Structure 1
Amino acid sequence: MLTKKQLDLLEFIHRRLQQDGVPPSFDEMKVALDLRSKSGIHRLITALEERGFIRRLAHRARAIEILRLPENSKEYSNRGPAGAGAAIGSATGVANFGSSPGGSVQAENDQPRQGGTAAAIELSVMGRIAAGVPIEAINQISHQVAVPQAMLSSNGRHYALEVRGDSMINAGINDGDIVVIRETDTADDGDIVVALVADEEATLKRLFRRDGAISLEAENPAYPTRVYPEDQVKVQGRLVGLIRNY
């Protein structure tokens, strides 16, 4: 039996995993539960772990795996009972970056994955993309990854890339993440895009058009904004989702 605070924290972590694909920080937990210090959060986390509701993963910051939910939880009916070893958003965290849900995806080499409660599509991981200085353009398939179908729009092809670098960390994109990209050659100001620079270097950045030039902006103050003539930058896709393995 959980106390009210323990249950509130478990449900808060569950909701954040479902929405963002990553657990909340201890500061966010403290604010959500209206506690004065993080020491109270540490005690609640320890209690949840001792009772078998969560598991903390060693050597990874903010890595919490939900093993089960109590039947009196408001989130239980949304998820269903957890079987042995079941987890939510822990082995794989998924974040949606504003794609339109619904519809089947007409994408080459995309195959629905059988089993589970949510439809998934196998997307090709086309290689690595720099979230730092540009690297050589991606041009070959390295492996496949399962992506929730609701993350993908019905009017376009999609592919995935493995992120290398930390220039987009303030947008929640870390080194080693898999980003899901919808193929397009257009983008609005502020979109996170795959940009091909000078037909030979690809990078993941926010795009802005200013004074007849293209600015590719990082989400990390350690990296400067790079400005190119418009004819030197080609948009090859827009970010619609992210998958993180723990």
Structure 2
Amino acid sequence: MLTRKQLELLDFIRVRMDRDGVPPSFDEMKEALDLRSKSGIHRLITALEERGFIRRLAHRARAIEIVKLPEAMEKPGFTPRVIAGDRPAAPQPATAIPVQVHAVELPVMGRIAAGVPIEAISEISHHVAVPGGMLSGSAQHYALEVKGDSMIEAGINDGDIVVIREQGTAENGDIVVALVEDSEATLKRFRRKGNMIALEAANPLYETRVFPDHMVKVQGRLVGLIRSY
């Protein structure tokens, strides 16, 4: 028997994995369940794992696999609290219908540091096919290979290919390609604080770097991720 919070967390993880292909971060889980600290999420995750509903993979960030769902989720009476950012899973068709997926070739503009910044990237190394649904409208897009582990708690690992929408502005919380002092490029979470810009890592081993806004130029925003296993 699971508690209400355990059921809510399991359903939140399930919906986010169906939508994004990767589980949410502990910070996202904490905000979704309106908990004060991540320690509460750790306890809920541990309880779900001990009861055999999920499995955590060692040495990988955000590596959670749903093993089974409780019977309560299959019953009509189960109605978990609506969580901001969720959407209901699409109903499964009675008969499988082949669907053609439109793919677009994007240039891979070399490697981007998810760690300390590296030299700015400007040369195409190769091309990669990405689903057309990952791209937005008529905007220009490009891809980068990730180098480093500073964004692992955002589900971005060393060697991943990130898909970037080319744009010069960002909202707080966006993961962006930032050009620092016109010479170094890095992949970080963007925060504006007055006339200062903070580039935040998603790994406690890396410090947040803060610059005057004139020293940072947004080169694009993360819109997708491709991983080879």
Q: TM-score range by the shorter chain?
A: 0.5 to 0.7
Q: Deviations over 1:123-166 (max 9, x none)?
A: 11111001110001111111111111111111310000011111
1:146-225 alignment runs, 5 A limit: 146-225=129-208
**Residues in 1 aligned to 2:209 and 2:47: alpha-carbon distance in whole angstroms:** 42
Aligned to 2:96: 80
Q: 1:235 is matched with which residue?
A: 218
In the alignment, the residues of structure 1 paired with residue 223 and residue 176 of structure 2 have an alpha-carbon distance, to the nearest angstrom, of 9
Stretches of 4+ aligned residues off by more than 4 angstroms = 12-18, 59-64
Paired residue type of 2:185 = A
Residue equivalent to 2:19: 19
Which residue, 103, 111, 116 being the options, matches 1:133? 116
In structure 2, the gaps of 5 or more residues are 1-11, 25-40, 66-89
The normalised TM-score by structure 2 is 0.64
Q: Report the Cα offset of residue 39 of structure 1.
A: 6.2
CA distance in 1, matches of 2:192, 2:97: 49
Q: 1:38 to 1:79 in 2, by over 3 A?
A: farther
Q: CA deviation at 1:20?
A: 2.3
1:121 counterpart residue number: 104
Residue pair 2:22, 2:155 contacting (<8 A) in 1 also: no
Q: TM-score, normalised by structure 1?
A: 0.60
Two-structure CA RMSD over aligned residues (Å): 3.9
How far does residue 60 in structure 1 lie from its aligned partner after superposition?
8.0
Over 3 Å counting, the alpha-carbon distance change for 1:144 and 1:78 in structure 2 is farther
CA deviation after TM superposition for structure 1 residue 37, in Å: 6.1
Identity %: 60
Which consecutive residues of structure 1, in runs of 5 or more, have no partner in the other structure?
1-11, 46-58, 65-73, 83-115
